[in-house]
């Protein structure tokens, strides 16, 4: 440690910095202070640089362009993640099954979904358990009916971000469709395209813990798990009958005598 850096020391954790400005920014980690607010969505940030990056989401500005294709990104992190599509680099390897991933977040998701049954996050409305807080937040929208994602061009609002992204592509021609190089099917989300490509490759990395069956995606594996469970989460809002699978309740709706039908995911 040099003499100058020791002059600016955090009293909370002991870390040292080269300037008082950097120390001040660091201090907001402990205080939780976020003085910079987005004028569009009111999201707050600890520093102005992060606010500027965030603002590009609303303005549509994408200064980081891929030199190998026509895709562009609002943040450098997005471009860096995208480049792995061209390089094929998968530096994040699972220590349990040796499956490799382009992003650390994908490795963490894989580990939670495939190699552990721990579900520490529970829904306060129905008690359903989830492996991550992110998935729980998505699930809660089912109960609250919240639609936090609004279109900047029209009055439409959406529960999920992917719904907004698809709407912008279809209705306002904003964004870029992602095309499967094998069958030319188009997707609005890179995650959906990646899952689709697994089907062409024949790869089935998601193995059921109850039987030998394996699946292309974690979503299909979750739906399959219902076969081994007696829990019936899906209820007909008209007659009150419960079903294990959403597909089953949809089929039931076609023969239900009620005039008004509603799916309630409990």
Q: Which residue has the higher pLDDT, 140 or 250?
A: 140
- Tell me the CATH number at 10: 3.30.160
Residue 169: CB partners within 8 Å, gap ≥ 6? 175, 176, 177, 188
CA–CA distance, 66 with 72 (Å, rounded to integer): 6
Same domain, yes or no, for 184 and 251? no
CB contact at 8 A, 99 and 110 = yes
- The pTM score is 0.40
pLDDT at 85 over 80: no
- Domain co-membership, 150 together with 238: no
The total of structural domains in the chain comes to: 3
Question: Lowest-confidence range among 26-30, 141-145, 169-173?
Answer: 141-145
- Say if residue 217 is in the same domain as residue 256: no
The neighbouring-strand residues paired with 8 are 17
Q: Are residues 179 and 208 in the same domain?
A: yes
Distance CA(234)–CA(227), nearest Å, equals 14
**Highest mean pLDDT (candidates 104-113, 147-156, 216-225):** 147-156
- Written as one string, the DSSP assignment of 111-153 is HHHHS-----EE-TTT--EES-HHHHHHHHHHHH----EE-SS
pLDDT of residue 232: 64
pLDDT of residue 154: 92
Indicate whether 51 belongs to any domain: no
In the chain, % of residues over pLDDT 70 = 85
Average pLDDT over residues 114-125: 76
User: CB–CB of 159/146 below 8 Å?
Assistant: yes
Cβ partners under 8 Å of residue 242, min gap 6: 232, 233, 234, 235, 236
Query: What is the rounded average pLDDT of the residues 160-181?
Result: 87
Residue 171 has pLDDT above 70, yes or no: yes
Domain assignment of residue 177, given as a range: 120-228
Q: Treating both helix axes as pointing N-terminal to C-terminal, what angle do 218-225 and 104-114 enclose, rounded to 10 degrees?
A: 20
């Amino acid at each position: 440690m040099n003499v100058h850096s020791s002059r600016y020391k955090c009293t909370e954790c002991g870390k040292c910095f080269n300037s008082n400005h950097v120390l001040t920014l660091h201090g907001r980690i402990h205080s939780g202070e976020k003085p910079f607010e987005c004028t569009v969505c009111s999201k707050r940030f600890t520093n102005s640089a992060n606010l500027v990056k965030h603002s590009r989401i609303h303005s549509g500005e994408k200064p980081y362009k891929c030199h190998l294709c026509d895709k562009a990104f609002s943040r450098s992190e997005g471009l860096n993640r995208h480049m792995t599509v061209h390089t094929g680099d998968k530096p994040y390897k699972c220590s349990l099954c040796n499956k490799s991933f382009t992003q650390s977040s994908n490795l963490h998701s894989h580990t939670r979904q495939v190699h552990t049954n721990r579900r520490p996050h529970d829904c306060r409305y129905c008690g359903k358990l989830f492996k991550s807080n992110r998935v729980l937040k998505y699930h809660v929208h089912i109960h609250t009916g919240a639609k936090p994602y609004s279109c900047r061009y029209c009055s439409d609002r959406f529960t999920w971000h992917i719904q907004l992204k698809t709407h912008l592509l279809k209705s306002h021609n904003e964004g870029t469709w992602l095309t499967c190089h094998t069958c030319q099917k188009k997707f609005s989300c890179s995650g959906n395209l990646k899952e689709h490509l697994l089907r062409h490759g024949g790869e089935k990395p998601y193995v059921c813990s109850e039987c030998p069956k394996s699946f292309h995606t974690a979503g299909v594996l979750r739906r399959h798990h219902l076969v081994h469970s007696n829990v019936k989460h899906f209820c007909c809002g008209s007659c009150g009958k419960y079903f294990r699978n959403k597909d089953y309740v949809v089929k039931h709706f076609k023969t239900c005598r009620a005039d008004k039908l509603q799916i309630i995911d409990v």
